[in-house]
A and B are shown apart, each in its own frame.
Chain A
């Protein structure tokens, strides 16, 4: 299996997307590495690391008919693939408050300057449509240490004048 590809598929959610796509890949001799498959809003989104002997065009022609039947948009990139590099997050940041535009940009901009490498970020909007609240959870690596992130968040809280809750906590992995 010499080639690694990143397959991205997005479309209206329905039963059987994962089963059909992965079956096509399996029958075509592909092997999956890491994947993320989840529903966002009404859409089902899939990103998959695929290992195969096939070249890009052959892989596209193999998967396209299945994607078309399921009305999924398909995007494929050849990548430098490798399994097993799993960086462990050492910090978690939870942000919530009344929903408004710009929260992710402001928070992550400040944290990036202070050395945060984001490994996993998830956001959502809850509450009623009149009074929506926003929620974000980030896991990442504090490449310049926790204190740098703490200082960045304190500055951010001052600028935002208490309209948003931001909590930073260390994450520890227990090697047992």
Chain B
């Protein structure tokens, strides 16, 4: 069943999601629906549960159909995911199903280590990079009520904020 995507400025997109505790039939049915909804989207590479109004820490990512991506894990269902380590950063333009008709530049880590549970509650560890790492960071942000709009860098400058030095007393 296709689920309805919440779109900004719906305030529910700012809600922080809670951890999944019960790995039951209800969860696996929901994941099927979430997967179907993701594939129907314009990008079809990632979706987070709160985007369809279920405020639990569940995301699906699948960058395997993107022509330039060589390293990936296929379709990943990530439940209660946590980034344990990251490295490198890169600016790229992102769009989001919940933010139609707007794209913006966002800095993301290029390499990630991640732990998450699968649908059987087994704890898995992943190392990922590039587009897949970017997609995971984007989707995990939804679980904390963050949109790419919250992470925009200057439209006109690929600049980083200058480090603020403490004044000598």
Chain A residues within an 8 Å CB radius of B94:
173-176
**Which B residues touch A88, using CB under 8 A?**
93, 103
> Is A84 an interface residue when CB atoms closer than 8 A count as contact?
yes
Residue contact B101 to A175, C-beta cutoff 8 Å: no
Residue in A closest to B92 when the chains form the complex, CB atoms: A174
Q: Is B81 an interface residue (CB 8 A)?
A: no
* A171 interface residue per 8 A CB criterion: yes
Mark interface residues in B74-111 (1 if CB within 8 Å of A CB, else 0): 00000000000000000011111100011100000000
Within 8 A of B (CB), among A78-94: 84, 86, 88
Instruction: List the A residue with the shortest CB-CB distance to B41.
Output: A175
A120-B156, A171-B93 known; A176+B46 contact, CB < 8 A: yes
In this complex, the interface size class of chain B, counting residues with CB under 8 Å from chain A, is: 20 to 34
> With an 8 A cutoff between CB atoms, is A122 at the interface?
yes
Q: Most chain-B CB neighbours within 10 Å: which of A88, A122, A173?
A: A173
The B interface, classified by DSSP as helix, strand, loop or mixed, is mixed
State A102–B84 Cα separation when bound (angstroms). Answer: 51
Q: Identify B138's interface contact among A86, A172, A176, CB under 8 A.
A: A176
Are B43's CB and A122's CB within 8 A? no
B116 within 8 A of A: no
Please measure, in the bound complex, the distance between the C-alpha atom of A84 and the C-alpha atom of B103, giving whole angstroms.
11
Bound CA–CA A20/B141 (angstroms): 37
In this complex, the member of A84, A171, A176 whose beta carbon has the largest number of chain B beta carbons within 10 angstroms is A176
Question: Cβ of A172: which chain B residues have Cβ within 8 Å of it?
Answer: 92-93
Q: Does B55 contact A (CB under 8 A)?
A: no
Q: A120-B156, A122-B156 are in contact. Are A174 and B95 (CB under 8 A)?
A: yes
CB-defined contacts of A84 to chain B, threshold 8 Å: 101
Give the residue of B95, B101, B102, B155 whose beta carbon is less than 8 angstroms from that of A176.
B95
Give chain B nearest CB distance to A1 CB in angstroms.
19
Chain A residues within an 8 Å CB radius of B95:
173-176
Give the complex CA separation of A174 and B134 in angstroms.
9
**Nearest 6 interchain pairs by C-beta:** A175-B43, A176-B138, A173-B93, A175-B95, A176-B46, A174-B94
Q: List 5 contacting pairs A-B, 8 Å CB cutoff, sorted by A.
A: A38-B156, A174-B135, A175-B95, A176-B43, A176-B148
